[in-house]
Chains A and B, each alone.
Chain A
Amino acid sequence: MSASDTPVTGSPLVKRGMAEMLKGGVIMDVVNAEQARIAEDAGAVAVMALERVPADIRRDGGVARMSDPDMIDGIQAEVSVPVMAKARIGHFVEAQVLQAIGVDYIDESEVLTPADYEHHIDKHAFTVPFVCGATNLGEALRRIAEGAAMIRSKGEAGTGDVSQATVHIRTILGQIRRLQSIDERDLYSAAKELQAPLDLVRETAELGRLPVVLFVAGGVATPADAAMMMQLGADGVFIGSGIFKSGDPALRARACVEATAYFQDAQRIAKVSRGLGEAMVGIAVDSLGAGDLLATRGW
């Protein structure tokens, strides 16, 4: 970075640094100010403002879009933690709108109906940082090349079935371990196989992790799910439908936060897993048809 006392906004360091501050935390989907208050009181590190949680998007069908700015304003006014919001894949004007109303992070999300089946948003063009979903390392690095400052697994949102999140985080971290073990000269062919830029492949191999923060999302519904993702190597956890589709959201939210902070302490996870009431009902991913899968959106 060149020496300068002219303040620079929207730089990669400022965007990626914001995600570093969220590590070890739980980011919760909320659909109104009341839920946002419950989430913040339970210790959520940020909230994701959206009109319908993924489980309801699944149930209702139709086209899912960016939320009403009024609804996002209401949530921003209610809480002091960062407020994130979702834009459709490729919908750069929804992203412009979200930046204009001052959200702290944009999720370019497969949970909404894609607006472009060829291009993702050029995220370098924005001051606000973006998080994007990925199912494997190549996809993660392509999103970072487009300017994503944070990556999350896609999982299979709105199911309460954590299996796909498990597959995605294991795949991403396994592919990184493989990169670390190969000869420098083989990075060219590795980049070709991953369909990702060589410089990012090399940086990832050197760091032994993604160059940005990696969270898990998609199907996390219990404190044990959250702690499992942390033990597998996630930097933090998104919980979508899992909190507010359960019997006692406030209690479950707090339990998931505690299990994420103390993810290696089984006694503590056992303690917070007691008396939580009903978990979200859930849909096993293998009962879904190919057309119902959200993780296959984006490329």
Chain B
Amino acid sequence: MSLRVGILALQGDVREHARALVEAGAEPVEVRRPQELATVEGLVLPGGESTTIGTLLDLFGLLEPLRTAVRAGLPVYGSCAGMILLADEVLDGRPNQATVGGLDVAVRRNAFGRQVDSFETDVEMTGVGDVHAVFIRAPWVERTGPDVEVLATVPGDGPAAGKVVAVRRGPLLATSFHPELTGDSRVHGLFVRMVKEAHP
């Protein structure tokens, strides 16, 4: 039996995550309803608009079931908007922005700027190696709690050098960038291994 990994499919780049999960050896399942959430062994919160996805989670009654699942130990990987949704604290978000939480970090929304400031670059990610990273209106992690492992930072000597852009804590993984856009499934491979560890 292959591992069933859900992708929150209210909005965002669901197709790209599905392809990366297949390459990483998992079976992707689109999740739009609480009953679908109950059938998966891990969940991806995709790239998209974090305020929009947060609003839709709230409007469509998925926010509480998702929070409960994360508290119960469901492995979750969030890319970009997904990182914001997983963060316990969001800086520069909307007032009352709905988030799932569970990951003990503070994340700054649109930290690198508007779309004209979006960029691609190579980063070194612990447990994965060199990754070509695409940052789109991306957040960064501004504060990490005691048990949060930093997996990647922005390289070079530019204004954002050293900013934290990938973190892990227990079964929760988050990246500021979008590995799903580059045809590289190694970050998803790491997540699939985390899902397997959580369901021995």
Q: Max chain B CB contacts within 10 Å: which of A13, A20, A99?
A: A20
- Asked whether B115 lies within 8 Å of A18 as measured between CB atoms, the reply is yes
Q: With an 8 A cutoff between CB atoms, is A63 at the interface? A: no
Q: Which of B97-135 contact A (CB under 8 A)?
A: 97, 109-110, 114-123, 130, 132, 134-135
Which of A190-198, A255-263, A283-291 faces chain B?
A255-263
Which of A43-51, A160-168, A177-185, A273-281 faces chain B?
A43-51
CB-defined contacts of B13 to chain A, threshold 8 Å? 17, 20-21, 23
Query: CB-nearest residue of chain A relative to B92?
Result: A80
Shortest CB-to-CB span from B118 to chain A, Å, is 5
- Asked whether A21 lies within 8 Å of B118 as measured between CB atoms, the reply is no
Q: With an 8 A cutoff between CB atoms, is B188 at the interface? A: no
How many residues in A have their beta carbons less than 8 Å from beta carbons of B? Answer: 43
Given A3-B130, A13-B181, A80 and B114 contact (CB-CB distance below 8 Å): no
A81 to B137, CA, bound (A): 10
Which of A4-12, A65-73, A242-250 faces chain B?
A4-12
Q: Which of A80-136 contact B (CB under 8 A)?
A: 80-82, 99, 102-105, 127-129
Which of B21-29, B53-61, B68-76 faces chain A?
B53-61
Given A14-B119, A21-B81, A23-B11, A7 and B158 contact (CB-CB distance below 8 Å): yes
Shortest CB-to-CB span from B154 to chain A, Å, is 8
- Asked whether B122 lies within 8 Å of A5 as measured between CB atoms, the reply is yes
Q: Determine the main DSSP class of B at the interface with A.
A: loop
Q: With an 8 A cutoff between CB atoms, is B18 at the interface? A: no
CB-defined contacts of A81 to chain B, threshold 8 Å? 49, 51-52
Q: With an 8 A cutoff between CB atoms, is B12 at the interface? A: yes
Query: CB-nearest residue of chain B relative to A102?
Result: B114
Q: Max chain B CB contacts within 10 Å: which of A42, A103, A104?
A: A104
Q: With an 8 A cutoff between CB atoms, is B10 at the interface? A: yes
Q: With an 8 A cutoff between CB atoms, is A40 at the interface? A: yes
Q: With an 8 A cutoff between CB atoms, is B47 at the interface? A: yes
- Asked whether A80 lies within 8 Å of B120 as measured between CB atoms, the reply is no
- Asked whether A10 lies within 8 Å of B11 as measured between CB atoms, the reply is no
A10 to B136, CA, bound (A): 10
- Asked whether B119 lies within 8 Å of A24 as measured between CB atoms, the reply is no
A18 to B52, CA, bound (A): 15
CB-defined contacts of A14 to chain B, threshold 8 Å? 118-120, 134-136
How many residues in B have their beta carbons less than 8 Å from beta carbons of A? Answer: 48
Q: With an 8 A cutoff between CB atoms, is B48 at the interface? A: yes
A52 to B155, CA, bound (A): 45
Q: Max chain B CB contacts within 10 Å: which of A40, A45, A82, A127?
A: A45
Shortest CB-to-CB span from A47 to chain B, Å, is 11
Shortest CB-to-CB span from B9 to chain A, Å, is 7
A69 to B92, CA, bound (A): 23
Query: CB-nearest residue of chain A relative to B123?
Result: A5
- Asked whether B60 lies within 8 Å of A261 as measured between CB atoms, the reply is yes
A44 to B48, CA, bound (A): 12
Q: With an 8 A cutoff between CB atoms, is A25 at the interface? A: yes
Q: With an 8 A cutoff between CB atoms, is A34 at the interface? A: no
- Asked whether B120 lies within 8 Å of A7 as measured between CB atoms, the reply is yes
CB-defined contacts of B122 to chain A, threshold 8 Å? 3-5
- Asked whether A13 lies within 8 Å of B49 as measured between CB atoms, the reply is no
CB-defined contacts of A254 to chain B, threshold 8 Å? 59
Given A254-B59, A261-B56, A23 and B119 contact (CB-CB distance below 8 Å): no
A46 to B32, CA, bound (A): 21
Q: With an 8 A cutoff between CB atoms, is A33 at the interface? A: no
- Asked whether A104 lies within 8 Å of B115 as measured between CB atoms, the reply is yes
Query: CB-nearest residue of chain A relative to B94?
Result: A80
Query: CB-nearest residue of chain B relative to A9?
Result: B119
- Asked whether A43 lies within 8 Å of B137 as measured between CB atoms, the reply is no
- Asked whether B49 lies within 8 Å of A20 as measured between CB atoms, the reply is no
- Asked whether B49 lies within 8 Å of A25 as measured between CB atoms, the reply is yes
Q: With an 8 A cutoff between CB atoms, is A187 at the interface? A: no
Contact with B59, one of A4, A22, A43, A104 (Cβ below 8 angstroms): A43
User: Beyond A13-B134, A42-B55, A80-B94: 17 further Cβ-contacts under 8 Å?
Assistant: A7-B158, A10-B116, A13-B120, A17-B13, A17-B118, A18-B136, A18-B137, A20-B16, A21-B12, A21-B81, A24-B11, A40-B55, A43-B52, A45-B52, A102-B114, A103-B115, A261-B32
Q: Please list 11 pairs of residues, one from A and one from B, whose beta carbons are closer than 8 Å in the complex, sorted by A's number.
A: A4-B121, A5-B122, A18-B118, A24-B12, A40-B55, A43-B52, A102-B114, A104-B114, A104-B115, A257-B56, A258-B59
Which residues of B are interface residues toward A (Cβ below 8 A)? Answer: 9-16, 32, 47-49, 51-52, 55-56, 59-60, 80-81, 92-94, 97, 109-110, 114-123, 130, 132, 134-137, 155-156, 158, 178, 181-182
